Amino acid sequence: MAITLTVTVLLVVLAVLLHSQALLWLSRLIARMRGSPRWKAVTGVLGALFAHLFEVWLFALGYFLLMQAGGYGALTGDFTHGFRDCTYYSLIVYSSLGFGDITPTGPIRFLSGAEVLTGLVLIAWTASFMYIQMQRFWGRELEA
């Protein structure tokens, strides 16, 4: 369980750092952009989605490596043990959608629970970031 806990903490920290850097970069990019506020919104949303996708891949790599090492749990159900299925499972868990076609067993369940919480927080962070950005650049257009 100690290894699973360590991997989980490391992945959460990396995901938060990656997300904060992505939002900082997006904020600077959007501020420099010329043109329609709609394109700024599209840029912000696409950039945030890419950040979330990279975070999903981080967690997928964690699942994949823990299962390859053995003894840290498994993902069961409609699962082939490949990285692609780990990515699918991670995306479903990160978004807290939880279809139920793949189920974690053993210590790896802790990673799944932490990923749900992390995904919820980072998605909410993105929503508040986009709200602030939209207020900023749509407010200027309305004032003109």
Structure token pair of residue 95: 């978004």
Tell me: the pLDDT tens digits for 44-94?
999 999 999 999 999 999 999 999 998 999 999 988 889 999 999 999 999
Model pTM score: 0.90
Q: Is 77 left (phi over 0), alpha (psi -120 to 50) or beta?
A: left
Q: Which domains does the chain have, with CATH numbers?
A: 2-19+37-143 (1.10.287.70)
Q: How many residues does the chain have?
A: 144
Contact 18, 51 (CB under 8 A): yes
- Note the pLDDT tens digit of each residue in 97-108: 888 899 999 999
